[in-house]
């Protein structure tokens, strides 16, 4: 079996968060979605599971933190080009996100911007010219 990454996020408004992540470039996997969770596929191996707070609490006894106040993780999603980075941030912002909670990063061979989702999770959308890697 190919290794996969599942990012599980507690969300306040499942429908609005689902729309945001679809605008971010994911697709809904109805097989693992319900009125308590949305399975958002970014590739065959990268999945974001959006879980209502009640459903999320079934998997942990720890309190749900507030991503708007505290940094909990740094999450990056690759894009095909600089233009795709900008387009993705624009689409995610139109779906209720907040553009550029962190400054844009431009290192020539690597370019990134960030977008904050409806619950405060910050996603870095980044492009890297792999031919320049190590240069």
pLDDT tens digits, residue range 51-65?
999 999 999 999 999
Return the CATH architecture of domain 5-132. Roll (3.10)
Residue 135 scores a pLDDT above 80: no
What's the pLDDT score for residue 12? Answer: 97
Helix/strand/coil for 128: strand
Report the alpha-carbon distance of residue 34 to residue 30 in Å, rounded. 8
Q: Please tell me the predicted confidence (pLDDT) of residue 74.
A: 85
Q: What is the pLDDT of residues 72-119, one digit of tens each?
A: 888 999 999 999 999 999 999 999 999 999 999 999 999 999 999 999
- Judged against a pLDDT cut of 60, whether residue 26 lies above it is answered with yes
Domain borders along the chain are: 5-132
Q: What pLDDT is attached to residue 134?
A: 55
Per-residue model confidence (pLDDT) at position 73: 85
pLDDT of residue 130: 83
Express as a percent the part of the chain with pLDDT over 70.
97
Q: What is the pLDDT of residue 133?
A: 60
Q: Band of the pLDDT at 39, cuts 50, 70, 90?
A: very high
Label residue 132 exposed, middle or buried (CB < 10 Å: 0-12, 13-18, 19+): exposed
pLDDT at res. 132: 66
């Amino acid at each position: 079996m190919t290794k996969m990454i599942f990012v599980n996020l507690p969300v306040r408004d499942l429908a609005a968060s689902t729309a945001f992540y679809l605008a971010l470039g994911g697709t809904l996997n109805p097989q693992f979605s319900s009125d308590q969770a949305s399975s958002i596929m970014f590739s065959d191996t990268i999945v974001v599971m959006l879980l209502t707070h009640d459903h999320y609490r079934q998997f942990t006894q720890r309190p749900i933190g507030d991503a708007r106040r505290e940094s909990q993780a740094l999450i990056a999603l690759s894009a095909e080009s600089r233009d795709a980075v900008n387009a993705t941030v624009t689409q995610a912002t139109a779906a209720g996100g907040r553009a550029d909670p962190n400054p844009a990063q431009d290192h020539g061979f690597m370019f990134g911007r960030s977008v904050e989702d409806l619950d405060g999770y910050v996603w870095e959308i980044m492009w890297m010219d792999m031919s320049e890697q190590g240069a």
